[in-house]
């Protein structure tokens, strides 16, 4: 089941903001990471490097939640993440995110570091959404 985003929630998520992604550690405690993200239809796409905590957590337990906020205005979305790209496709995804957040020139400079890493993209269909009252 896909949660319906209000037009205001969708517009808020489409703006360039950082999100705090929550995954679960093996002992059940939450792990939060500030992330670049992209709303793509009814899915959220993120990208990270292999060897970090997030990929290990997601391989074990796919439940995620992303909080995007600006002061007291916020949208929280949740779902089950799946690995969606590796290799060249994952590098294309991180480039797309870098352009979104840093612009074309800075993204081009930053790709040298990203290309040294084994990148992986995750997507999750939004199955739950909640927002501050001004975005409902």
Confidence of residue 136 (pLDDT cuts 50, 70, 90): confident
Buried b (16+ CB within 10 A) or exposed e, 4-20: ebeeebeebbeeebebe
DSSP class of residue 67 equals E
In a domain, 2, yes or no: no
d(CA 119, CA 95): 11
What is the percent of the chain with per-residue pLDDT over 90, rounded to a whole number? 95
Pair of tokens at residue 59 = 């391989």
d(CA 90, CA 115): 10
**Residues 39-58, mean pLDDT to the nearest whole number:** 97
Whether the per-residue pLDDT at 118 is higher than 90: the answer is: yes
In a domain, 96, yes or no: yes
Name residues whose C-beta falls within 8 Å of residue 28's C-beta, 6 or more positions apart in sequence.
none
d(CA 1, CA 33): 26
pLDDT tens, residue by residue, 52-77: 999 999 999 999 999 999 999 999 99
* pTM, two decimal places: 0.95
Domain residues for 15?
A: 7-135
Choose among 66, 70, 67: nearest CA to 122.
66
Q: Mean pLDDT over all residues of the chain?
A: 96
**CATH, residue 115:** 2.30.110.10
DSSP class of residue 2 equals P
**Residues 16-45, mean pLDDT to the nearest whole number:** 98
Q: What is the pLDDT of residue 110?
A: 87
What is the percent of the chain with per-residue pLDDT over 70, rounded to a whole number? 100
In a domain, 68, yes or no: yes
In a domain, 125, yes or no: yes
In a domain, 116, yes or no: yes
Structurally, how many domains does the chain consist of?
1
Confidence of residue 17 (pLDDT cuts 50, 70, 90): very high
In a domain, 1, yes or no: no
In a domain, 98, yes or no: yes
Whether the per-residue pLDDT at 37 is higher than 90: the answer is: yes
114 backbone dihedrals φ, ψ, rounded to 5°: -60, -35
In a domain, 37, yes or no: yes
């Amino acid at each position: 089941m896909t949660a319906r985003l209000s037009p205001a929630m969708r517009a808020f998520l489409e703006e360039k903001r950082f999100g705090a992604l929550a995954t679960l550690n093996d002992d059940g405690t939450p792990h939060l990471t500030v992330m670049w993200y992209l709303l793509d239809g009814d899915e959220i796409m993120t990208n990270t490097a292999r060897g970090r905590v997030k990929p290990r957590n997601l391989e074990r337990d796919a439940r995620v939640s992303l909080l995007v906020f600006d002061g007291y205005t916020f949208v929280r979305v949740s779902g089950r993440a799946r690995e969606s790209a590796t290799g060249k496709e994952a590098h294309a995804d991180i480039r797309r995110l870098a352009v979104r957040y840093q612009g074309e020139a800075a993204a081009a400079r930053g790709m040298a570091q990203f290309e040294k890493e084994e990148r992986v993209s995750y997507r999750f269909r939004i199955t739950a959404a909640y927002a501050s009252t001004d975005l409902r």
